[in-house]
């Protein structure tokens, strides 16, 4: 089997099995915890992710960029870890000194001191985990990378079952199981790679640290904008709606995570592979084939979600019934992001990381405007529409800047498919009697638009590209 396919399968195992575990966790949670309580837990997890974005300072991305040229990878790892870990310590100290303030921001009440302190502790684990996983990924240890994902998801599931059935059935059950599950999974990771964390031979490389920071700071602004873009929907719901709508929206996001699984799997193997292809001088045709093939797969999965959206009620419970009408829009976010990973390579190859700031702004502005217009009257549905359309702008900007400073990947087919999916998502907002036929026609149109990709894949299959080591 082709080495590329083996790596993709290896990196996919963790997210896929992790998604299966999550699909057990989701109904266990939503059947016993109402949308309002689930919304509170979701805000905790959202703030955790957003804080993590600032902590990394973009140095995590700089670390991957410098990994292959570095002669001493342990020193590179430890120098890259230094500033983000120091910031995480500051966050932990702040939660210990003023826990009531953080509790008010996270939960709307000053009384949740313990989960607030756990939030601070989690920041330390987040930073260490991020850099260790990047080290595994850059070594292209696909199966080991996947194992860590599976361990964390399994720990979260077991703790969720324990809390819900034996302790409590509110948002704190979700918070405690997520935090303690992450910590328990990370402890194995820390032990497994304790040699990287051993600071005995560490020496501060100021030149390297400056280089990492110089590359990373424009990225931290861009990733902060991206993080705000990802969380803008729930922030808008927090401002102009209620925890009930946040809970329904967040539960729908969990269903749409079937595409996020592919996003995580693909990105994990694609980034090191793309860097390697670039260093080898591969032609743009290699990158185009990957982009077209990924678009076909992701669009068919999204259309399949449209087709079976009614099953969401069975999965989540009746009180989350509105989710079936939102999932069409929410599944577009991971789809568009994943495909854009194949059309934005010029930004990283040319080291013009500052362009990601403009990408973030180009997507965030319509997100904010649409959230202001749509969330107050339509709640979760308005937030879902705003997010999907904002990511169309995200894709346009990423692709444009990449093509301007590197080589252009033809994307006319991409835009045609995205237009079909947006139209399909709008139609699926309504409980139409002939929806099954409409979604089948949508799948047929998606295949017609991408018939050239189907022919290309068939020719590659006949040549044996997917069954031997020749071709890629």
- In this model, does residue 1 exceed pLDDT 50? no
Confidence of residue 14 (pLDDT cuts 50, 70, 90): low
pLDDT in tens, 190-203: 888 888 888 877 88
Distance CA 89, CA 173 (A): 26
pLDDT in tens, 65-118: 778 777 788 888 888 889 999 999 999 999 999 988 888 877 778 888 998 999
Token pair of 22 as six digits: 């999550």
Q: At what angle do helices 113-138 and 243-280 cross, to 10 degrees?
A: 20
C-alpha closest to that of 382 among 233, 224, 160, 204: 233
pLDDT at 229: 87
Residue whose token pair is 């700031």: 357
Distance CA 151, CA 471 (A): 35
Alpha helix (H) residue ranges in 33-71: 35-56, 59-67
- In this model, does residue 317 exceed pLDDT 60? yes
Distance CA 330, CA 405 (A): 31
Token pair of 18 as six digits: 């992790």
Distance CA 338, CA 172 (A): 32
Distance CA 89, CA 397 (A): 35
| Beta carbons of 146 and 185 less than 8 angstroms apart | no
Average pLDDT of the chain?
84
pLDDT in tens, 202-251: 888 888 888 888 878 777 777 778 788 888 998 899 888 888 888 888 88
* N residues, the chain: 472
Distance CA 454, CA 459 (A): 9
| Cβ neighbours around 466 below 10 Å, total | 14
Residues 6+ apart with CB under 8 A from 59: 80, 83, 84, 212, 213, 216
pLDDT at 442: 93
- In this model, does residue 471 exceed pLDDT 60? no
pLDDT at 258: 67
Cα angle: 344, vertex 255, 304; to 5 degrees: 75
pTM: 0.76
For 432, list phi and psi in degrees, rounded to 5.
-75, 145
Distance CA 349, CA 299 (A): 27
DSSP one-letter code for 318: G
């Amino acid at each position: 089997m082709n080495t590329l396919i083996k790596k993709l399968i290896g990196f996919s195992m963790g997210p896929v099995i992790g998604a299966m575990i999550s699909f057990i966790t989701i109904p266990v949670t939503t059947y016993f915890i109402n949308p309002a309580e689930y919304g509170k837990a979701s805000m905790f997890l959202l703030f955790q992710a957003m804080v993590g974005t600032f902590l990394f300072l973009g140095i995590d991305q700089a670390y991957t960029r410098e990994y292959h040229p570095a002669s001493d990878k342990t020193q590179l790892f430890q120098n890259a870890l230094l500033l983000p870990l120091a910031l995480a310590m500051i966050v932990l100290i702040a939660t210990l000194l003023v826990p009531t303030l953080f509790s008010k921001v996270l939960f709307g009440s000053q009384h949740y001191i313990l989960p607030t302190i756990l939030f601070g502790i989690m920041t330390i684990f987040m930073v260490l985990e991020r850099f260790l996983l990047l080290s595994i990924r850059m070594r292209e240890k696909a199966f080991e990378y996947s194992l860590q994902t599976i361990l964390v998801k399994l720990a979260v599931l077991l703790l969720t079952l324990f809390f819900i059935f034996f302790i409590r059935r509110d948002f704190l059950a979700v918070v405690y199981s997520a935090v303690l599950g992450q910590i328990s999974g990370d402890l194995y990771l820390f032990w497994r790679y304790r040699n990287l964390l051993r600071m005995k031979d560490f020496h501060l490389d100021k030149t390297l640290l400056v280089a990492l920071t110089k590359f990373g700071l424009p990225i931290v602004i861009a990733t902060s904008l991206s993080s705000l873009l990802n969380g803008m929907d729930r922030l808008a719901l927090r401002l102009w709606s209620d925890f009930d709508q946040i809970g329904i929206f967040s539960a729908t996001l969990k269903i749409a995570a079937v595409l996020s699984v592919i996003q995580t799997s693909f990105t994990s193997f694609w980034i090191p592979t793309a860097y390697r292809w670039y260093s080898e001088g591969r032609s743009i045709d290699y990158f185009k084939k990957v982009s077209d093939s990924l678009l076909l797969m992701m669009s068919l999965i999204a259309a399949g979600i449209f087709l079976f959206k009614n099953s969401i009620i069975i999965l989540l419970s009746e009180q989350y019934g509105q989710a079936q009408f939102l999932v069409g829009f929410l599944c577009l976010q991971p789809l568009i992001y994943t495909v854009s990973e194949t059309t934005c390579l010029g930004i990283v190859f040319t080291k013009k990381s500052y362009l990601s700031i403009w990408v973030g702004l180009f997507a965030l502005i319509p997100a904010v405007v649409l959230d202001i217009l749509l969330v107050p009257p339509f709640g979760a549905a308005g937030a879902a529409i705003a997010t999907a359309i904002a990511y169309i702008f995200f894709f346009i900007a990423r692709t444009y800047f990449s093509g301007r400073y590197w080589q252009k990947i033809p994307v006319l087919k991409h835009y045609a498919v995205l237009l079909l999916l947006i139209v399909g998502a709008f139609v699926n907002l309504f409980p139409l009697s002939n929806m099954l036929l409409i979604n089948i026609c949508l799948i047929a149109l998606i295949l017609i638009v991408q018939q050239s990709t189907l022919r290309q894949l068939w020719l590659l299959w006949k040549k044996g590209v997917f069954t031997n080591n020749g071709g890629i």
